[in-house]
Structure 1
């Protein structure tokens, strides 16, 4: 006769620990020492312990599942960072022994959120791409469903978020180009309804204002984050009467289109036209893979996904309403795509990649 698998109580007795400690160790709770977690997981594996998810859910009053709510179009886009975000979230829920419910929608996201809250199929949700004034935050607070936002909004409601430091990153990119003498700079930004795009636009303008400079009134282009929009925007601007000497791109996808347009105009990146961008760390299209290598502020969108899930699970298990906030740091990496304005002399003679962690050094 096959021996029955042990239950949580048996495992706890065998280890000489309380059931709650064993349970939290199996879920990689941050309050449990790593040595204890390893000891518990090793014993569980050796004894063939398998948690009874339904019994546990009834006992603790939680499903130990979180939802990711997203527009279905994000799965249909040929160029997106969504897969990296999803990979990070999946890593975190696996580590914490939670389940992930993918919840796409086409039109009425509010109805989806209401249904999730009413059905109690998840303990909390992650929402993405916050608007400048995002009504979802007030709705989720009213519903009492724990949530974390990937990004920020300008609403006064309390909420938890993980975000890239857009407020600083694009000011640094703009300052870099200004340091190289560029004044006619075109910023190929994201769509204006999203808060990240407005934050980046403000950063761009702030950098000019700090130098008592004024950018061209049409310097900021609010377009989608694709190679096509980068190409079309660069082509239109390079064909104009006063073509820019530099471009700032909101994504590596846009930058790829800008590179293509510059080449078709018989110009050289880093020599005739400078290009910088923000790189989320999407696999297969890194800034360092461009020719010439692309100067960029770099961060990990996958890490953002991990942090989102970890933050949400911590909020769920702590049963607290206190908002948690995390702004991810970035690294400004100077490569060969930047050159002096008004010359055909760039930085192609640089033999190494410089990582800029503080104030840009023009002697570097």
Structure 2
């Protein structure tokens, strides 16, 4: 099979779909890998390294024309004309992007999304490494924008002796939320975490030995926590569906002037009312007197780390698709969960329901 790896075109994106180790593994199995020239440069991977691993360096048309296209981010508007009837393996987040869903159906692309590949225990093995990175980055980004020169309240996340640290509220105790909590605790902040799952809260409480506050997530509890926060991190995920708006505009307005919110869920539409996708070049928007950071590809800020983390997670699945094609969906239930579009229609139930709701069909 020919595997194509185009350069990413989303603003600020630095990652590449396959690192040299992935290229080498595919070529060793008898597959051909066609990488768009320059695709790895921003992840610290030069063309020579990819060529030495066995890749052919090609233009964008040839990379997109492969049997299996491996990317990082969803196709951008300028790439929709390149979609075809082959397989596409990437992050898609279709619940928040009806236009892309329609384009994939029209092109009869078999589209497999990293974020819905799901194991029997419910975990998301391909989303997890990027969620870990986004969770850690969310605290660093929030701490940066809390500084006065960047419009924040002028609060130091960890405080100093005699002065308490910033009050950090994390909504969601999944992979991203857990990493945000760990980062904030490590930096000395005063941390509260909310989730609808008591077992998840118990795990975090045990992990941090009583150094955090935990609260069951209700509208009342979220409003109370946000009102007293310096930094709010929204890390809510419903796989395949749009993120629920758990932080309302009224809650944002209740924060002290210069408060910061980070919306990790922006790829799925966002969990903070008023947040819109932003870029690394222009990452925050003012919502009332608060700042909302909602970069839609947060891990691209650490493209070297993120590329290696993503490739080590996706490579086993890329190999299965390359070896077996669509038959891999029958052999691997986790991959089957990843299929969002096939034969011109949306086949993932949660994605179909979410898009139907957006269009008023549900």
TM-score by length of 2: 0.36
More RCO (CA 8 Å, sep 6+): 2
TM-score by length of 1: 0.36
Structure label with greater radius of gyration: 1
